[in-house]
Amino acid sequence: MRSWRDWSWADGNFWDSGVQPLNAKVADQILPNHGDDFWESPGPDHRLVIVSKITDASAGIAKMLRRLGVKVLCPYESWTAQGYVHTFGLDHRLFYAERSAASDERMFDWSPAERCRVPSIVTNLPAGVPSPLRLTPWKESALKVVVLMRKQGFITAKQIASFGIGVSAWTQPSGSKRPWLAKGEVRGQWVETEHMPAFDKQHPDMYAKALTEFEAEAGQSKVSP
């Protein structure tokens, strides 16, 4: 299960599903915004909510969501040696129906113009719990900048821009903010300062991945003719 941009994600081999616990706020959040289709906004292939049970208060919301193409899942009662227990498993409640050609429980395909971008690193959090520090696409690029800078001992504005992010936040921030980088001894080179945010400590897994990718690319460059 992944947490990303206010969604938790259950990812399979062929599609992604945005998962949220059921309440009135989520019922509003899980449905597309007005104009999303027109602007071709990114979205999941399928939308669903998972709840411990459907109460009298949430029954109307569950009915509405199902009619609108949002699957609502809750535990089922089964008999064990200890008596009846409530159990839940995505394989039984979700994937079995998707694999069955005759099932009428298959999820509605929202067919987004563009799928939501999910992070490269899986965040191990329970469904419905947002990541304390979000790993955004910008931060992924920033971590690659930090890796390159630390490996070569400096960074250039052109190198920062090559990762698709602005240079000003690093060298010339607005207002009274301190720049993260300082001018190096060589013209055009910038070096890290104590004001640099601890992106590597905020997202150690992604930093390690960026470091591994850098070292792999560096190794390939050495063996290339």
DSSP 99-161: H-TT-S-PPP----SSBPP--SS-----TT---SS---HHHHHHHHHHHHHHHHS-EEHHHHH
- The pLDDT-based confidence of 93 (bands split at 50, 70, 90) is low
pLDDT tens for 45-74 read: 888 888 777 888 888 999 999 899 888 888
Map residue 32 onto helix, strand or coil. Answer: coil
Task: Classify residue 123: in a domain, yes or no.
Answer: no
Q: Last residue of some domain: 38, 71, 99?
A: 99
Task: Classify residue 156: in a domain, yes or no.
Answer: yes
**Count of the separate structural domains present in the chain:** 2
- The pLDDT-based confidence of 12 (bands split at 50, 70, 90) is very low
* Gap between the Cα atoms of 126 and 2, Å rounded: 8
pLDDT tens for 149-166 read: 999 999 999 999 999 999
Higher local confidence (pLDDT), 25 or 125: 25
Task: Classify residue 20: in a domain, yes or no.
Answer: yes
Higher local confidence (pLDDT), 190 or 4: 190
Residues 89 and 19 both lie in one domain = yes
User: Residue 43, CB half-sphere, CA atoms under 13 Å: how many?
Assistant: 21
Task: Classify residue 104: in a domain, yes or no.
Answer: no
Tell me which residue of 135, 2, 111, 119 sits closest to 47, measured CA to CA: 111
Task: Classify residue 169: in a domain, yes or no.
Answer: yes
Query: CA 146, 151, 155: angle at the middle one, nearest 5?
Result: 55
Task: Classify residue 131: in a domain, yes or no.
Answer: no
Residues 157 and 210 both lie in one domain = yes
Q: Which domain holds residue 148?
A: 137-223
Q: Last residue of some domain: 99, 122, 153?
A: 99
Task: Classify residue 158: in a domain, yes or no.
Answer: yes
pTM of the model: 0.55
Helices of type H across the chain: 24-30, 36-39, 56-67, 90, 96-99, 137-152, 157-162, 168-171, 199-202, 204-223
